[in-house]
C-alpha cells in the first residue's frame, strides 16, 4: 500500500468512526434537510435520468430524495453490485421494490428488484449521485474504497459522457484536502444539511 492509499484508509477509518456515533434521530433529521437542499439544485431539477443509490446504516440518507425525484417523474436508476464489483443498474420502482443484495458479505445493501439494464445504463444519466465519506476544496471525493464507482466514472469518461457529479455529506465532512490518486475525478457539488457547496472546474 503506497502513501496515498494508506492516507485514504486512515481517513476513512476516522470518518466512519464519526458516523458510527450518530443516532437514528440524527440520521433521520439529516435526510429531510439533504433532500430539501438537493432538490434546489438545477442539475437535479432539469434531469430526466438520475443515477442514485439507497443509503444504508449511517450514510447520509437518500430515501426521501429518490422518492421525491421519482414522484416528480424523474427516471431514477439504482446500482446493482455485480460479482466483479462493477455496477449494473435498474430502475427504481418504489420502496416496495427493493431487495437485499444477493452478494455474500453485502448484508444491508438494498437493490432494485427490476430488470437489469447493463453497466452502460449510467451513460443515460443527466446527474450521478455518488456515495462518499468526504469531499475537499478541489471537489475530490473520498469513497469507501471498493472501487465500484471508480469504474463507473471511468466508463463515463471513456464514453465522453458528462453528467453532473453530486455527493451527499454530513456537515463536517467537507475537508481542506483528501488524499488523491491520478484517476480521482472531482465532483461539481456536495450537499450537506447546511447548504450546497460548489467546486471550481479542474484544469482541462
Domain boundaries, the chain: 3-198
**Residue 145 confidence (pLDDT):** 83
The mean pLDDT value of the chain amounts to 92
Nearest to 188 by CA among 128, 114, 148: 128
pLDDT at 204: 44
Q: What pLDDT shows up at residue 148? A: 93
pLDDT at 106 over 70: no
Architecture of domain 3-198: 3-Layer(aba) Sandwich (3.40)
Amino acid at each position: 500500500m503506497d502513501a496515498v492509499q494508506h492516507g485514504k484508509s486512515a481517513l476513512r477509518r476516522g470518518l466512519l468512526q464519526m458516523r458510527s456515533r450518530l443516532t437514528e434521530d440524527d440520521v433521520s433529521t439529516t435526510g429531510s434537510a439533504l433532500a430539501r437542499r438537493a432538490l434546489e439544485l438545477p442539475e437535479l431539477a432539469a434531469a430526466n435520468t438520475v443515477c442514485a443509490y439507497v443509503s444504508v446504516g449511517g450514510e447520509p440518507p437518500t430515501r426521501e430524495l429518490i422518492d421525491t425525484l421519482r414522484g416528480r417523474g424523474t427516471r431514477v436508476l439504482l446500482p446493482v453490485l455485480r460479482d466483479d464489483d462493477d455496477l449494473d443498474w435498474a430502475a427504481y420502482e418504489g420502496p416496495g421494490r427493493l431487495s437485499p443484495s444477493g452478494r455474500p458479505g453485502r448484508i444491508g445493501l438494498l437493490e432494485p428488484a427490476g430488470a437489469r439494464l447493463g453497466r452502460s445504463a449510467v451513460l443515460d444519466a443527466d446527474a450521478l449521485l455518488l456515495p462518499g465519506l468526504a469531499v475537499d476544496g478541489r471537489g475530490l471525493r473520498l469513497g469507501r474504497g471498493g472501487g465500484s464507482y471508480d469504474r463507473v466514472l471511468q466508463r463515463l469518461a471513456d464514453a465522453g459522457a458528462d453528467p453532473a457529479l453530486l455527493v451527499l455529506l454530513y456537515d463536517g465532512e467537507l475537508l481542506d484536502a483528501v488524499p488523491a490518486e491520478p484517476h480521482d475525478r472531482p465532483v461539481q457539488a456536495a450537499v450537506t444539511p447546511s447548504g450546497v457547496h460548489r467546486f471550481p472546474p479542474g484544469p482541462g
